[in-house]
Amino acid sequence: MEKKQALQCVVLFVCISASWIRVESLGNGLGLTPQMGWNSWNHFGCNINEKLIRQTADALVSSGLANVGYKYINIDDCWANYNRDKWGNLHGNDATFPSGIKALADYVHSKGLKFGIYSSAGTRTCSGRMPGSLGYEKQDAKTFASWGVDYLKYDNCNTDGSAEKQRFPVMTQALRASGRNIFYSMCEWGYQEPAKWGAEVGNSWRTTTDIKDTWSSMLFNIDINDGYAKYARPGGWNDPDMLEVGNGGMSYNEYVAHFSLWAISKAPLIIGCDVINLNKEAHSILANKEVIAINQDSLGVQANKVKKYGDLEVWAGPLSGGRKVVLLLNRGNQGTKLITFNWADVGIPPNSAATLRDVWLHYTYKKTIRHKLTVKVAPHSCRLFVLQPV
Ligand code: GLA
């Protein structure tokens, strides 16, 4: 073999192994794109029961949201009896989930959806109303598997004080040994910077404290999450917490910015509102297929903040097919502002022409553009574009 050919082989081998490592760190084959679904916590808290979960599964399908990718129905805290039974097993709460969790999982599956559940790496969950899985990891993982659970959100309350880095992998092993392939969503709130070690442990990891349904909380979380952008990859995602779209605390433009920031950050798109009574505006945001496609893009690279002048920001990242996603954000609350970005800011060669698609207006501009772009952005709003260099 000639020297040049040999070198090409080595380069190819290194590239293939690097991409393999990037794709399959945890190795359960799940979460190759960020997970999409619904979770009970942000809207309902502990006020949940089996009827609500069934109706939510129905609504996810009838609203068309399942069709655009939202597949998981996840129950959060407060689903179990206060205590384990005498064999140490968890059971669905007798009053609120009288048919049992297996029956509920079966119902969710019968709708073509997947079913998720919640526990904590502590002796009790965060509500204190049910046991956590610390010391019962294997037993609980087996129980979850026997019920047909597809997804576990694992929280960090009432711990024994040991390090998250030690406690969370115990559940990784337990899930592996459970006999079912279960998506593992770690929720240790960024305490031990799980972005730096989570890829081998779980499929996603919270980077932040709990989101609130406000503009400032949403931005607070996405800014922290942005600091870990380089660690996201297919199979393991940064999680700035669940969506608040539809819960009523933010304006339409603010929710569009919230959803756009989550989408480009390759964040899990877990709906946190009441989808049984979903209003039209929230539906139009959550069901925007073009924005979802950015989130679910096969390249799996998290966009990040590339420029900031005061309240005005440019966020950008690569998409498959040589495209770029660019988000222009006006965080301020006074007046529409002009935001400019140069091709170099977003990784396009300076002299390339590019087509420009506004994914909220669903409009492709007639003329191609070169060098830079200046766009008006209203207060507490964003504009979101996909650029295709031509
Ligand atoms: C923690 C988590 C939340 C939710 C609650 C439930 O605060 O971060 O997402 O699961 O517990 O009690």
Rounded-to-integer distance, Cα 40 and Cα 75, Å:
5
Q: Is 155 a catalytic residue?
A: yes
Q: What angle do CA 14, 201, 33 make, to 5 degrees?
A: 65
Catalytic residue among 210, 223, 311, 358: 210
Instruction: Convert the pLDDT of each residue in 156-195 to its tens digit.
Output: 999 999 999 999 999 999 999 999 999 999 999 999 999 9
Residue ranges, the chain, pLDDT below 50: 1, 11-24
Q: Is 241 a catalytic residue?
A: no
34: nearest Cα among 226, 172, 240: 240
Look-up of token digits 């049910």: 130
Rounded-to-integer distance, Cα 127 and Cα 185, Å:
18
Q: How far is CA 93 from CA 117, 131, 132, 388, in A?
A: 13, 12, 14, 52
Catalytic residue among 76, 140, 150, 155: 155
Asked if 319 and 386 count as a contact pair (C-beta separation under 8 A), the reply is: yes
Instruction: Convert the pLDDT of each residue in 249-306 to its tens digit.
Output: 999 999 999 999 999 999 999 999 999 999 999 999 999 999 999 999 999 999 999 9
DSSP 188-203: STTTT-GGGTGGGT-S
Does pTM top 0.85 for this prediction? yes
Residue type, 367: K
Residues with beta carbon inside 6 Å of ligand 1?
41, 76-77, 125-127, 155, 187, 210
Q: Report how far ligand 1's centroid is from the alpha carbon of 157 (Å).
A: 9
Pick the atom of ligand 1 nearest to 242's CA: 9
Q: Report how far ligand 1's centroid is from the alpha carbon of 3 (Å).
A: 58
Nearest CA to ligand 1 atom 4: 41
Residue 177 CB: number of other CB atoms within 10 A? 12
Give me the helices (H) in the chain, please.
3-23, 41-44, 50-62, 101-110, 137-147, 164-176, 215-226, 252-264, 280-286, 289-295
